[in-house]
Amino acid sequence: MSAKEFVLYIEDLTVSFDGFKAIDNLNLYVDKNELRVIIGPNGAGKTTLLDLICGKTKASKGSIKFKDQELTKRAEHHIVRSGVGRKFQTPSIYENLSVFQNLEVSFPSGRSVLGALGFKCTHEVKARVQAVAEEIGLADKLELEAGLLSHGQKQWLEIGMLLMQEPELLMLDEPIAGMSAKERELTADLLKRICKGRSMIVIEHDMDFVKQIASKVTVMHQGKILAEGTMDDVQSNPQVIDVYLGH
């Protein structure tokens, strides 16, 4: 390890599906409290990378270290409990439950079967739900059934559900997909607010949005890292231009 404190430390990571290497010998380091954006054309392996980190897909080779803990062999829920939160590409919320319940269920206690049976919605939980709901702008919709929210609100709700867990590493897969211009702006503000005190990995296609939030950008292509640096560096990189325009 270098002098800098890495939160996430990925080395030689490879995963192959029937011989096709979706991630190919990838190295990636994410600093503490860094907001990293990953971009890349379709099929570059961005979502697969998140799947690997959160344990949804098992790596064929290589290591993923989160705060010096090896993640590749651990079960999904243990990875989450160690402090990794992940938002899915399509809003993944419990449509039949109220907004309040969605957030309450995500509160990180009572996670075992017996714990969940004995879980009490204490003052602390309620306060936390209220705080998170205000953060994501849904404080006036707590009693609403989540299925009735608009697409953008659903995305925020899922981010809120992750915030309930206070993850140290938050991974968002295309958080602004399908959002209106106004919603994008609000989301950018939200991300800037919540990235304080935690590391974040965001996958995004929208370049304007990336420019708004990112300090450091990683470009992926065919399971490998093509370039890394500030947005301007990356955009002037001939290889990146080739990948984006040449196909």
Residue 102 beta carbon to another protein: minimum distance, rounded to whole angstroms: 8
- Sorted by sequence, the CB contacts under 8 Å of residue 161 that are 6+ apart come out as 93, 102, 103, 105, 106
Q: Is position 99 an interface residue for another protein (rule: CB under 8 A)? A: no
For another protein, the closer of residues 94 and 244 by Cβ is: 94
Q: Is position 77 an interface residue for another protein (rule: CB under 8 A)? A: yes
From the list 43, 20, 7, the residue with the least C-alpha distance to 171 is 7
Phi-psi region of 33 (alpha: psi -120 to 50; beta: other; left: phi over 0): left
Phi-psi region of 197 (alpha: psi -120 to 50; beta: other; left: phi over 0): left
Six-digit token pair at 199? 């590391």
Beta strands at 20-31 and 199-203: parallel, antiparallel or unpaired = unpaired
Residue 181 beta carbon to another protein: minimum distance, rounded to whole angstroms: 28
Q: Is position 143 an interface residue for another protein (rule: CB under 8 A)? A: no
- Among 161, 169, 170, 234, indicate the residue that binds another protein (CB under 8 A): 161
Residue 14 beta carbon to another protein: minimum distance, rounded to whole angstroms: 23
Q: Is position 159 an interface residue for another protein (rule: CB under 8 A)? A: no
Residue 243 beta carbon to another protein: minimum distance, rounded to whole angstroms: 30
- Among 1, 3, 113, 245, indicate the residue that binds another protein (CB under 8 A): 113
Q: Is position 106 an interface residue for another protein (rule: CB under 8 A)? A: yes
Sole window of 78-86, 178-186, 198-206, 214-222 interacting with another protein (rule: CB under 8 A): 78-86
- Among 26, 80, 191, 203, indicate the residue that binds another protein (CB under 8 A): 80
Number of residues counted as binding another protein (CB under 8 A): 33
Applying the rule CB under 8 A, the residues between 17 and 56 that interact with another protein are 54, 56
In the block, tokens 């290889």 appear at 239
CB-CB contact of 25 with 62 (8 Å): yes
φ and ψ at residue 21, rounded to 5 degrees: -90, 100
In the block, tokens 């106004």 appear at 182
CB-CB contact of 59 with 43 (8 Å): no
Residues near another protein, by CB under 8 A: 54, 56, 75-77, 80-81, 85-86, 88, 92-97, 101, 104-106, 108, 110-113, 116-119, 121, 158, 161, 165
